[in-house]
A = this chain, B = another copy of it.
Amino acid sequence: MSQHAVDELVKLLDLEPIEVNIFRGSSPDEDRQRIFGGQVAGQALVAAARTVDPGRPVHSLHGYFLRAGDPRVPVLYEVDRLRDGGSFTTRRVVAIQHGKVIFNMAASFQVPEDGFDHQAEMPDVPPPEDVPSVRDRLAEAGVQLESWMDRPRPIEIRHVDWALATREAALPPRQNVWLRADGRLPDDPLIHTIVLTYASDMTLLDTATLPHGGSWFSPGMFMASLDHAMWFHRPFRADDWLLYVQDSPSASGGRGLSRGLVFTRDGTLVATVVQEGLIRRLRSGS
């Protein structure tokens, strides 16, 4: 358990109100060169949700990462109240640093209603207790971690399908990952949505590198999220285990596209995620 790291994440996602539609977020005190994309997407969703009746939960978001976030200065989030309708509320949020937009997002919120119900089936995978954590796998393989990876992390990740030892081989473009906040979260459903938004950016793009024998920890690989889209289908807790079923239908033109389905342990589909990212293998010396 990393309750302290989880509490820090919850604090990170609790923005400071500046004006009715303007919020400010900070970054953790870590030596990262750019802000983690999931943090910006999560904070932007908090900003949007702060301007919406809590009786209308978020059901989707679509964002573009435009510029690398600077972790040394705060991020300003400005909300545009696009529409307040009878059933749906739509918001646009821009994240600003140094006078420039670093992230542009729109999100939609809906009064709960009943309707048709169906969902994809969860694949049959080993339970999280039988899968080693990514930390253990990396340590076992002797991979040198950047210092920010080597401290207690708020999200625990367990890769079902691959071990570091076999990771450089060409694998099919799909992976199953168990993840959860590594400590107790407050009960507010919005927190769980935001923590999943944060966590959903951690492994998804890497799925697109699986057939190519490289990954985010290979030397000379440059990867950056280009966009991030999520749809929330049913309630869930992000401090219970979630299975993140990911595949990559395509990579081309320096970009990889990955899709994810998120299930609770009992097989309920709670979210769908799609992300495209830039994947470049830099030539040595460049």
B82 touches A117 (CB 8 A): no
Most chain B CB within a 10 A radius of its CB, from A66, A112, A249 = A249
Contact between chains at B272 and A118 (CB < 8 Å): no
- Cα–Cα distance between A103 and B142 once the two chains are bound (Å): 50
Given B62, B112, B113, which contacts A62 in the complex, CB threshold below 8 Å? B62
A253 and B66 within 8 A (CB): no
With A83-B101, A92-B104, A115-B280 as contacts: A233 and B257 at CB distance below 8 Å = yes
Could you say which residues of chain B place their CB within 8 Å of the CB of A234? Answer: 252
How far apart are A177's CB and chain B's nearest CB, in angstroms? 17
For residue A276, CB closer than 8 A to chain B, the reply is yes
Q: Which stretch in A2-10, A47-55, A204-212 binds the other chain? A: A204-212
A122 to B112, alpha carbons, bound, how many Å?
Answer: 37
Q: Is there a chain B Cβ closer than 8 Å to A176's Cβ? A: no
Does A279 make an interface contact (CB < 8 A)?
yes
Which residue from B208, B212, B231, B274 sits with its C-beta under 8 Å from A250?
B231
A253 touches B233 (CB 8 A): yes
Residue of B nearest to A121 (CB): B249
Interface residues of A in 103-131 (CB under 8 A from B): 104, 106, 108, 110, 112-120
Q: Is the CB of B254 within 8 A of A62?
A: no
Please indicate the chain B residues that have their CB under 8 angstroms from the CB of A253 in the complex.
59, 110, 112-115, 233
Q: Of B82, B231, B274, which is within 8 A of A66 by CB?
A: B82
Are B227's CB and A118's CB within 8 A?
no
Give the interface residue-count category, chain A: 35 or more
**Set of chain B residues within 8 Å of A88, measured between Cβ atoms:** 226
Give chain B nearest CB distance to A232 CB in angstroms: 9
In the assembled complex, which residues on chain B have CB atoms less than 8 Å from the CB atom of A59? 253, 255, 276
- A272 surroundings in chain B (CB, below 8 A): 249-250, 257, 259, 274
A229 at the interface (CB under 8 A from B): yes
Mark contacts of A275-286 with chain B using CB atoms, 8 A cut-off: 1 yes-contact digit, 0 otherwise: 010111100000
- For A64, A110, A281, which residue has the most chain B Cβ atoms within 10 angstroms? A64
Question: CA of A119 to CA of B247 in the docked complex: distance in angstroms?
Answer: 11
- Write the nearest CB–CB distance from A244 to chain B, whole angstroms: 14
Given contacts A64-B108, A106-B62, contact A115 B251 (CB under 8 A): yes
Binding site for B on A (CB under 8 A): 59-60, 62-64, 66-67, 82-83, 85, 87-88, 90, 92, 100-101, 104, 106, 108, 110, 112-120, 173, 208-209, 211-212, 226-227, 229, 231, 233-234, 248-257, 259, 261, 269, 272, 274, 276, 278-281
